[in-house]
Amino acid sequence: MKEIKLVIFDMDGLLLDTERLSNIAWIEAGKNMGIEITYNILRRIKGGNLKNAISVLMDFLEEEECKKLIEEKNRIQVRVIEEEGIRLKKGVLELLAFLKEKKMKIAVATSTGKETATRELQDTGIYKYFDEFVFGDEVKNGKPNPEIFLAACKKFDISVENAIVLEDSVLGLKAAVSGGIKCIVVEDTVQLTEKENRLPYKKYESLLEVKNFFKEVI
């Protein structure tokens, strides 16, 4: 493979254990409104932006009901985060420390907006590790469009051939692949289908295993 010069991290479900909390909020919000939020619905929403969530929900809800459901979900998620806090995913600190030791350029590219993402990265103590950020409200097109990952490469003037994306979501995986960037997947709340399992460059159980991969190649 080409020399790796840039590692691009997704945030939710990869660095931060927030997708699990998001699922709790989606399901509770659905119950409050008499709407069943299934695994398949969550699967299609994960990794995407607000526009994508609305698009998924409008398959079976009217626009006004979509907006009410999303507002209820956001309200509940704030409460759940206050109650449980946000934990780092396994291996985050070990991997980030290793990459910094190797002087590797690292960035976050997340569908979450700048204000929320910055706060959560700072609150969990990992904001300081990253050289650059691309937030969901800074790009026009959300995942699975590759814009957010291409923007990260552009910030460093690094070719997609010399970058690698770390993702947990199907939408994020598809975004990386469509942008010509190799993608390592660490599954979180969503599992890849047999067909989707052909897309990642590598797939691991945790970021500790990803660290071992990088130890072999950089």
Catalytic center residues: 10
- Separation of alpha carbons 182 and 74, rounded Å: 32
Bridge partners, 133 (sequence order): 108
- Separation of alpha carbons 92 and 186, rounded Å: 12
Tell me, what amino acid is at 60? F
Residue 91: what are its φ and ψ, rounded to 5°? 90, 0
Whether 17 and 88 have beta carbons less than 8 Å apart is answered as yes
By three-state DSSP, how is residue 190 classified?
A: coil
Give the burial class of 216: count Cβ atoms within 10 A of its Cβ; 0-12 exposed, 13-18 middle, 19 or more buried.
Answer: exposed
The two three-digit tokens of residue 143, written as one number: 């995942």
The two three-digit tokens of residue 81, written as one number: 């985060």
Task: List C-alpha distances in Å: 55 to 45, 132, 193.
Answer: 9, 29, 22
- Separation of alpha carbons 61 and 30, rounded Å: 12
